[in-house]
Every structure is written in C-alpha cells, then in structure tokens.
A and B are shown apart, each in its own frame.
Chain A
Amino acid sequence: MSDGLIGVIVAHTEVAEALLAAVRAIAGEDAGLVAVSNRGCDRGALTRQLEAAVGGRPAVVFTDMAGGSCAHTAVALARGRPDLKVVTGVNLAMLVDFAFHRDLPVEAAARRAVEIGRTAVGMVER
C-alpha cells in the first residue's frame, strides 16, 4: 500500500467510522484514513476535530453530502490551504482506491477519487 497523503472522512453520525471499517476490511489496516463524526458538534467543534485529524499534513478530506455541515466545515478549513482538498459524496470505491494511491500529489489524489467515485455509481442493467 502506498504511503504519503492521509485521507480524513468526515460525515454524519456513524457514517465515517462505518466507511473506515469497510475500507480496512477490504484494503487492510494501513489505509491511511481516519474518521471524524459531526455528532454533537457545532461548526467550531467540528473544525477543531478536523484540524486534529489532519494534523498539519497534506490530506484529502472526504465528506458525505455537499452543502451539509461536514462539507461546510471542510471547505472552510481548506480555504487558503493548497495541501488540503475536499471531495464530496464519499463512497467506498473511492476510499479503497485512495488507500492504494496515497503517493499522488494531493490535488491529483482528490481528482482521482472523484473519478473513481463517479465510475462506481450507476444502475446495473441486466
């Protein structure tokens, strides 16, 4: 598994922890991801949790819903910080792929996550 970037999943209730558990079950324990929940947080408290999770490192922040409180917080934190990129609409496929492409520059990793995530969404035709 590649090293380098970290990914922070920030989402409502238990979504981030559940996604992280699923990624680890598929890709292994060293996926380079951490989970943050917005449970019980206003924007200030969530910002502090997110800052602690990022820890000043280059990171892709994966958020669940564009326009939600998690995305708002992530976008505000990433403002003026080119080493942080925010991806909305997180899904399992993009996270599993990210775990193996953490050696990419942060923007390239974020763009790749978006492409992989989009490709994973569709209706199954029989």
Chain B
Amino acid sequence: MNIFEATFVAAVLTATTPVVLAALGGMLCSVSGVFNMALEGQMLWGAFTSVLFSHLTGNVWAGVLGGVAATVLYAAILSVGAVTARADPVVVAVGTNLLALGLTAFLMRLILGGGGTFSSPDLKGLPTLAGLGLGDLPLAGPVLGPQSPLVPLALVLVVAAAWWLKRTRSGLRLRGIGQHQEAAESLGLKVGAYRHGAVLAAGALCGLAGAQLALGNVTLFSEGMSAGRGWVAVVAVMLGRNRVYGVVAACLLFGIAEAWGFRLQGAGLPQQAADAAPYVITLAALVLVQLRRRRRRPGGLGSDKVLEEGVTT
C-alpha cells in the first residue's frame, strides 16, 4: 500500500510538472500586468524544438537548452506584439497558439520526415534521478526516483520565484508595475523592460515545460501533444491570483483530480465523467475561493464604498 501511494504521488508530480512550469511563467506575466494566454502554443513549441535539438545533436541537454532558447525566441512574438506594439495580448496569444500547432506539424514533415508521431530509439530522453544514482533517498526515493532532473528544478524555480517576488527589489518593482502602471512609471521604472523580461522568462519556462513533457514524461513528439495542458496552466494562474503557492496549489489540484480520475475510471466510472473531473473540481474551487473572498469584504462585492475603502487602506 505504501509503495502504491508513493507511485500515486509520483504520477501526480510527473503529470503536474509541465503545467506548473508553464503556470509559473504565466504568473510572472500576470504579476507584471500582461495576461499571457500563449502558454499552450509555447509549451507545444518547446516540446517540438527540444525533441528536434535532442534528435539533431544526440544530446538530451542540448535538446533542453535548444528547446528553451527556441521558445524564448518564440515568446518574443508576444513580447514585441503585446508590449512594444501594444497589441491586445489575448489576440497575439491566440495567434501564436494556432501558429505553433501549424508550424510544428509543418516543420515535423520538413525536418523529421513525416507527421503524426516522431519517436526513435536514438532519441535521447531525460535521465531519471534513480538513473543518476539519487533514487535511494529515504522517503523521497520512490517519489522522486522515477522523475527527470527537471522536476526538482521546477520545485526550486517555484521557491525561487516566490522568494524573488516577495523579498527582492526587482520583484517588488515587477509587482508594482502590474498593480499600478502609472505610479511605477512616475517613479522612473522601465515598465516595458520589466514586461519584456516577464514574457521572455515565461517563454523559457514554457520551453522547459515542453522539454519535460516530450523528453521527461515520454520520449517522443506527437502533433498537438500539449493537449490542453497550457490552458490548464492559464486557469491555474487565474485561480492562484498572482500568488506563487496559490498557482502551484491549483496545478496540483488539477494533477490530483486527473490521477484520481484514472483510478475512478478503473473502478468503473465512465470515461466522460472522469474526463470532466478536473474541470468540475476547478469550478468548485473557483466558487469556494470567490465565496471566501466575499466573506472577507464587509458590505459585499460591487459596493462603491467597499471599493473606495479598498483603495484607501
């Protein structure tokens, strides 16, 4: 039973890591005041390019780095479009999401010689921690052993991001820019530079998410394999409300709901119901979070007095 539980936690961690990485990027953008809906396309692009570079170089770490670099480049479309040219970030994001779907399929035919699924015995995937000799840790061994090194890296990044946003001057400035752009500008902050940084950092994180998905979770690329995980990340950003641990908790909720869904399916729950489970739980969480917020505000939502009080306090 013990091992059974450890494998459950391990499965949740594997499934959630790409979502957490992408959501972390989305959150940085959201904190800086840019609504980033391009996570799905960037994750897919990261998955494709990391597989491509791993395949071309024969080195998985070159694949990961190549995927991250290529996705930063890809995120520049959103960064230039939404920050420099001041286009609606939602419109640019939808465009890049669709472009990623078509472009990966097209490049796959062009470079990898065929569409559908690309896998090859020569394609190098990420090693597991157990494979690197780190699987014997007590307690964490059975959970972390089967994971790729990107999983602990994601955990480190989460903690680092939370610390950075809360404890450093630049983190505070990023939050300030998102909360009140004019005030930040009047203090002489380079709003554009911070937002470019946030969007490109989100690109790097989505590249990492794609690399984990295509070289860590599995070792292959198939068309559209991000399969909605980027959208889950967008929802997690909205649920977590700009708080790192809130966003991570939302991602974990999704991961646990999905893994439980598999088990309930095994116990006879129809596939369609199990499919809906993560979304039903999200809706329930959304309602609960909203109710709690309301209770905290005396006078209820929407009253002008409360809003004024909120601003002055």
Q: Do A and B bind each other?
A: no
B-side residues, CB < 8 A to A, are none
